[in-house]
Amino acid sequence: MKKLSPMADQFKYVFLTCTLFFVCVRADSLEIGNPEWGSECVGTLALELPRGSEVASVSAARILAQLRGQPGKSKFRFADGEPAGWSSLRYYGEIFITDRLNSSEVSAIRDQFSKSKIDYSKYIKRAPIQSGQTIRVVDVFPPRKDAIGWSVDDDARLFLEVDSHVLTMNVPKDLARSYSTSIKSRPIFSVAGDSELCIPYAAVPLTASRERDIMVTYRLTSHPDVTVMIGDANAVEYSDPIRERNAESPMVIANFWAQYEMGKKIEQLLKPAFSKILIDRREGLESFVKIKRDDAGEDYGYFATVRGEYGVRPEKATVQVYVLRNAEHAQSLGKTPLEKAEFLRLARSIVSSIRAR
């Protein structure tokens, strides 16, 4: 079979690999060189998005609260405060990165990060320790002026300033110094190298054997009613049959929409409800629904996913894409929400552009 470029031109839909039941794998295309779209990356993936899309990050206030041990619901949000609850960066533990901050905000977070080491040292002294066990909190000295770190046994916690964004993350202590010099700024709508992991505003060194679960949420500036979540994760194989079944694409999609049944009604708009689509040149599944809200309003949602293949090289990651419309948000800004057909075309165009880097 001839390989299909994700940027194939001059046609809207390409049908591939039709089954005996006339169920086809669909791949939608974008115009080559469309100036309104640009290249972006999430985790180990590259994709195309409408230019000007805003990415969710963590506010200075929220990261300060997190360092103080104060719980909160959604850590990631957009500039106007709208939560981005799906966003999560997990790689050697949780990663937090802020939007662009001023110098006083950066200093406040740096001071609180240093204080968190002192607070943890006091906690260790009070905590019961098993016989023969030694726990020490020690400084890690990254070889760059805008980074500090401390470790507990084999785990280190890093603070870095990356082009006026603050990044905090956990890494193994023996990697702390090398990571502090290797993490670099990555402007939105730029694609990092193959050996780097893309997160908002930064690129992190990628270790192939390390598990990751990177979920990044965007909101389209031209269509503020539309949010897009892109997920990239290692393939995982479960010995437990229930967990293994829940990791299969049909169950992942079904479980996602099940949570919307609370207070809303979901109507599947595709036949079959889970239709085949190409994602990263692999056969995945898509679902398109109408969301009927309690206030009689209606919105649309789209979910596409392909499960990764465990233990193969080159890696084939698990990919998830959620695209949701919130018409009320657009209307509050005096803008017209995307219509059904345009929303579906947009979602499929994003999915068709996804490829492993």
| pLDDT one-digit tens code per residue, 256-266 | 998 876 666 88
pLDDT band at 8 (very low <50, low <70, confident <90, very high): very low
Task: State how far Cα 264 lies from the chain centre.
Answer: 25
* 76 occurs within a structural domain: yes
**Based on the domain organization, do 74 and 97 belong to the same domain?**
yes
* 258 occurs within a structural domain: yes
* 215 occurs within a structural domain: no
Q: Which residues contact 338 (CB under 8 A, 6 or more apart)?
A: 223, 225, 226, 300, 325, 346
* 151 occurs within a structural domain: yes
More confident residue, 42 or 264: 42
Task: State how far Cα 145 lies from the chain centre.
Answer: 29
- Whole-angstrom Cα distance, residue 39 to residue 58? 23
pLDDT band at 282 (very low <50, low <70, confident <90, very high): very high
Q: By three-state DSSP, how is residue 81 classified? A: coil
- Whole-angstrom Cα distance, residue 343 to residue 337? 9
Helix (H) or strand (E) holding 265, with range, is strand 264-268
Phi, psi angles (nearest 5°) of residue 262 = -80, 100
**Based on the domain organization, do 14 and 139 belong to the same domain?**
no
Q: How many domains does the chain fold into?
A: 2
pLDDT band at 25 (very low <50, low <70, confident <90, very high): very low
pLDDT, mean over the chain? 84
Range of the domain at 48: 1-53+220-357
pLDDT for position 22: 33
- The yes-or-no verdict on residue 104 having pLDDT over 90 is yes
pLDDT for position 129: 60
Domain boundary among 144, 179, 210: 210
* 92 occurs within a structural domain: yes
* 9 occurs within a structural domain: yes
Q: By three-state DSSP, how is residue 325 classified? A: strand
Determine the angle formed by the axes of helices 60-67 and 103-126, rounding to 10 degrees: 10
Question: Cβ distance 264 to 292 under 8 Å?
Answer: yes
Summarize pLDDT for 173-209 with one digit per residue, the tens: 888 888 888 999 999 999 999 899 999 999 999 876 6
* 149 occurs within a structural domain: yes
Domain boundary among 167, 184, 210: 210
Largest CA distance in the chain: 71
Quote the Cα angle for 308-272-14, to 5°. Answer: 70
Question: Cβ distance 41 to 357 under 8 Å?
Answer: yes
CATH number at residue 263: 3.40.1000
**Based on the domain organization, do 224 and 185 belong to the same domain?**
no
pLDDT for position 248: 92
Average pLDDT over residues 31-60: 89
* 93 occurs within a structural domain: yes
pLDDT for position 261: 67
Task: State how far Cα 60 lies from the chain centre.
Answer: 20
Average pLDDT over residues 207-235: 91
pLDDT band at 230 (very low <50, low <70, confident <90, very high): very high
pLDDT band at 101 (very low <50, low <70, confident <90, very high): very high
232: closest CA among 31, 34, 38, 42?
Answer: 42
**Based on the domain organization, do 145 and 187 belong to the same domain?**
yes
